[in-house]
Amino acid sequence: MAKLILIRHGESIWNAANKFTGWVDVPLSRRGRAEATIASAKLRHYRVDVCFTSLLVRAMETAILCLTEYEEICGGKTPIFQHAADDPEWHGWDKYEGNPNEELPIFLSQALDERYYGQLQGLNKAQTAEKYGKEKVREWRRSYYTPPPGGESLEDTQKRVIPYFTSRILTHIKHGDTVLVAAHGNSLRAMIMKLENLSPEEVPNLELTTGVPIVYELDSETNIVDKIILN
């Protein structure tokens, strides 16, 4: 059986400050790095074949910490970021063929970035709730259809996540690989909606804790056989 491991990045500095982050490229906090290290310990009995992450540093940091704290997770291979040719800093990395016996690829994609929070980015969540009301802010954060001012709804996010998920990530699942995806609350919620056939009405109650791996065991048709949350 193939395995799909989803992990929301560890706590970021703005998570700790209770700020809306979205596309702002904020690194992990000390606690966030510890969460990713603990996640690696929980994953040390899994051997990852390929990893996917977003272009945001908090997800990239989490991926690297998960893969490198325990050598057996990579099977002794070296994790290497695979930059795309349309990356302005690509430096020819897309032309490096690599050595699959010695290297584990980490593919980067903007499709896996967090939901864009528009005008809310950088604002304190509690203060925003005081200004607009708790219910309105919850609707912006958790509903499927309603975007925050100037930002993306979860529906918008899903429209960019799912094509990439289907064409790139599920391809490895069908080959029987163990896949690690280190991403964000909303890009992962979009994937889980697809995997678990959740409706837009069910998704507001879907909460993902920072740094906690979720392991899906999937058959060749990508149907869920088992699900384990490694709290």
Across the strands, what pairs with 56?
Answer: none
Say what the pLDDT of residue 98 is: 80
In 3D, which of 50, 66, 73 has the Cα closest to residue 8?
66
**Number of structural domains found in the chain:** 1
Residue 218 CA to residue 155 CA, distance in Å, equals 25
**21 carries a ligand binding annotation:** yes
Say what the pLDDT of residue 220 is: 87
Q: In which domain, by residue range, is 83 found?
A: 2-229
The whole-number average pLDDT for the span 36-60 is 97
pLDDT higher than threshold 90 for residue 30: yes
**9 carries a ligand binding annotation:** yes
3-state secondary structure of 125: helix
Determine the Cα angle at 163 with ends 158 and 166, to 5°.
Answer: 110
**141 carries a ligand binding annotation:** yes
Going 77 to 215 to 182 to 161, the CA torsion angle's sign is positive
pLDDT band at 111 (very low <50, low <70, confident <90, very high): very high
pLDDT higher than threshold 70 for residue 217: yes
Say what the pLDDT of residue 102 is: 95
**186 carries a ligand binding annotation:** yes
Say what the pLDDT of residue 113 is: 98
CATH number reported for the structural domain that contains residue 161 in this entry = 3.40.50.1240
Catalytic residue list: 9, 114
Query: Is the separation of the CB atoms in 2 and 217 below 8 Å?
Result: yes
Say what the pLDDT of residue 155 is: 97
pLDDT in tens, 142-173: 999 999 999 999 999 999 999 999 999 999 99
Say what the pLDDT of residue 40 is: 97
Say what the pLDDT of residue 206 is: 92
| All residues at 6 or more sequence positions from 125 whose CB lies less than 8 Å from its CB, including other chains | 18, 19, 20, 137
For residues 170-181, one letter each, b for 16 or more C-beta atoms within 10 angstroms of the residue's C-beta and e for the rest, the string is bebbeeebbbbb
In 3D, which of 1, 12, 2 has the Cα closest to residue 183?
12
Say what the pLDDT of residue 82 is: 87
Say what the pLDDT of residue 93 is: 65
pLDDT band at 4 (very low <50, low <70, confident <90, very high): very high
**14 carries a ligand binding annotation:** yes
